[in-house]
């Protein structure tokens, strides 16, 4: 009987270590474009850095509650998931049978808000959790079920004036080369 108990305990320990090795993780960036009427158009790029498929993403929510500074609108995503506006947070859920976000892959999630980028990224605002299931499970950091809480970092986007200066400089250089080549 002792051998059976020892074998059972060994199997339990092995199974526990395998399950805990499937901890989920994700990273995200957020960028903003000023829209019209005091609105800001946001794009979040979520990358699955874990080992299991992700099937839902809750932006602006943690166990402590919904934490965006204002109610977002016009949610969308590149995966075809359902977009659920939940007061001052957003749930994107794969309840439509669309593609899961596979390990190593990225997807984009969009929304509109009256809050500035600074307001939307100052903690606790923007804290988020991603899930392996299509159902939000109201947990965080559970191996095989959800990521730990993470916040998207601000993506560096060049200013339009910087891009125009770069384009103008490139055009001047190109014209200079043509004039030299013509001589």
- Does the pLDDT of residue 52 top 60, yes or no? yes
**Angstrom distance (rounded) from CA 53 to CA 39:** 33
CA 103 to chain centre: 13
Note if the bond before 21 is cis, omega within 30 degrees: no
Model pLDDT, residue 62: 87
Number of Cβ atoms within 10 Å of the Cβ of 168: 10
Q: What is the pLDDT of residues 76-106, one digit of tens each?
A: 999 999 999 999 999 999 988 899 999 999 9
DSSP at 115: S
Instruction: Return d(Cα 134, Cα 96) in angstroms, integer.
Output: 9
User: Could you read off the pLDDT of 66-82 as tens digits, one per residue?
Assistant: 999 999 999 999 999 99
Can you list the domains of the chain with their CATH numbers? 23-182 (2.60.40)
């Amino acid at each position: 009987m002792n051998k059976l108990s020892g074998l059972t305990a060994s199997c339990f320990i092995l199974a526990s270590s395998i399950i805990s090795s499937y901890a989920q993780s994700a990273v995200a960036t957020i960028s903003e474009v000023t829209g019209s009427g005091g609105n800001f158009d946001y794009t979040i790029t979520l990358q699955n850095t874990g080992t299991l498929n992700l099937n839902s993403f809750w932006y602006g929510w943690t166990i402590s509650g919904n934490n965006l500074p204002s109610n977002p609108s016009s949610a969308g995503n590149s995966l075809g998931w359902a977009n659920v506006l939940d007061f001052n947070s957003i749930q994107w859920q794969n309840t439509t049978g669309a593609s899961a976000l596979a390990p190593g892959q990225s997807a984009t999630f969009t929304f509109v808000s009256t809050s500035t980028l600074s307001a939307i990224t100052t903690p606790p605002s923007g804290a988020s959790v991603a899930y392996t299931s299509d159902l939000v499970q109201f947990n965080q950091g559970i191996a095989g079920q959800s990521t730990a809480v993470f916040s998207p970092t601000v993506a560096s986007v060049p200013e339009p004036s910087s891009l125009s200066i770069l384009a103008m400089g490139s055009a001047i250089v190109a014209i200079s080369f043509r004039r030299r080549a013509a001589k």
